[in-house]
Structure 1
Amino acid sequence: MMKGLKKWRLFSVLAALTIFLSGCGEEYLSTLTPAGQVGRDQFNLLLLSSAIMALVIIVVGIIYVVAIVKFRRSKLGEDFIPKQVEGSHTLEIIWTVIPIILLLILAVPTVFYTYKHADVAGMADVNAEGNKTALTVNVTAKLYWWEFEYPDLGVVTAQELVVPTNEKVYFNLKAADVKHSFWIPTAGGKMDTNVDNVNQFYLEFDKESAGLEQGVFYGKCAELCGPSHALMDFKVKTMNRPDFDAWVAKAKSTEHVAVGDSAKQGEALFSSAGCIGCHATSVAGTGGSMGPNLGTFGDRNRVAGFMDHTKENIKSWINDPQSYKPGNKMPQPEDLNNGKKFTDEQLDALADYLMELSVEK
């Protein structure tokens, strides 16, 4: 009976693992489906290291099986003693040289790609007019959201990185509070953002995200940074260069004006409650605000980086942000509304206003 139960337990564990592993190949999230040259380089290193490990396991397994079969007691008897090879110079050379060769096979391309991906000299290249030719993005990680500033374009976004395809995009990475780590699984990366220094690298994106199931690639914090670390996601929109240039031009020229009556009420409440003190509502400008820039809020596909982009979720988030993202810096509504929760009408107005903050619509 117990033996049967143990088998069912094993089956349950395998079934659970199957459910988790089913999400490993999603095109917008998985390192196994690289969407740029850096991601492909890192994926190839992963294949190389896996192949070396598999080779070692296979060879050792074969030797183990051969030794068991060839020298089994039932075949050779109780008193048989195999040839002793202790102190054999030949064998010592073999099992010293082979690991060295395998390590060199892995180390050479690893060092090469490490230096290649850290080469950011192109970040400073300029054209005949003195304008920079490469796109640079300043990334600032905060508890628990991401700010993306385009210093040469005068544009700032939050929670959503917009980049062109088929060219190098350079990143300056830093943190505003504690150590985080910037990672876009399909594109590569995973580099720390520190408080005391700026890390630099580049990524390339060769596929437009509009064709993906989610319409975006996923980015994540890869460094345990606090109670809401797992919820510190961001999204990446990739588009061809002409579309990106059009997006930048529209972002710099768009002036948000509330249209509907409810949105106008929300705009007034947004200002009177002090939200405007932390959140910019225009993407034109520079970074450094206390809260995420909301200029493209209506274009996002997530609320707070992880909730479905619906009016009800916006209201829920505003009404009690700590219950959804513990440890974040967003004030509770009582701190903004004279010690009281926002009414349902006020929440509707704020949500309607935020949904109208758009560059793409």
Structure 2
Amino acid sequence: MYDRRKFLKLTAVTASLATLSKYAAAKATVVPVATAGLPIIISTWDFGVAANQEAWKILSKGGRALDAIEAGARIPEADMKNHTVGRAGYPDRDGRVTLDACIMDEFGNCGSVAAMEDIAHPISVARLVMEKTPHVMLVGDGATQFAVEQGLKREKLLTPESYAAWKKWLKTAKYSPVLNIENQQHRPGSKYNHDTIGMLAIDAKGNISGGCTTSGMAFKLHGRVGDSPIIGAGLYVDNEVGGATSTGVGEEVIRNVGSFLVVELMRQGYSPEDACKEAVNRIIKKKPETAKQIQVGFLAINKKGEYGAYAIQEGFSFAVCDDKRQDLLIPGKSFYKEKK
């Protein structure tokens, strides 16, 4: 039987508890965050060293992690020797250079562009999408149009060197992802190579931001988009827990929502390295034969500033920059190297 008096009493108690919870939550947000060892920035691959050093110019002065991420990511995007990120990236099989990027801040805001042409700095366009639109992702011609409307320069991105590589590829038109392509390009003679830069930063206030930018796999199908611009796949940040980013064959990262998985594992108590390792193991478990032929690597950092990485194949490396050292490059651990 309906009892109005009991209902009103219960409602009052519930309201009081809700108010108390909101008050407790508000109090919790103003508790100072431990910042021992901070600020810090980490990024994928050897060209992450230069990106980190640029980002450090902002972090070392007490700047915001988001600003550091954008500034750092623009370095490899502008590097004319880098054919996997930014304006000198190799084209798709139609000879068109298409760029992808995403960015995410400490509040959970995010922006992304995919398959964008004629704009050299997709990381900056991704930030503009985040800050100037109600959307998360813009793609193709729409992304380019938006960038131009925001004042970014439109330019032809296909360089003579990239054009020559494309013409050479057309002779066989064989598409086969190459393991760790970035190292091969930056270190002649190396058997390794790769395709993305992912960056994660914690500023002096303890806030985390991240970014990821790439020109994607060389000679891909026109319109192909990998994990790099997809929030939760190529990048994910939770300011209460940490952040993660990925590199390698994006299709497998997307299928496993890789970066989100890594962050959720850290929420459960995994260390950054162990969380990355578990994400890699899941990819291998689902497609063991495919995993033997591809590279996927994850890089993560938790709220304490602890970091770690893990990849399917050996050859993955990541760069670390803090107040002690700005040029540290660390070889990541890998599944197949450990199993040999």
TM range (shorter): under 0.3
Q: Which has the higher contact order (CA 8 A, sep 6+)?
A: 2
TM-score, L = length of structure 1: 0.26
Q: Name whichever structure is richer in helix by fraction.
A: 1
TM-score, reference length from structure 2: 0.27
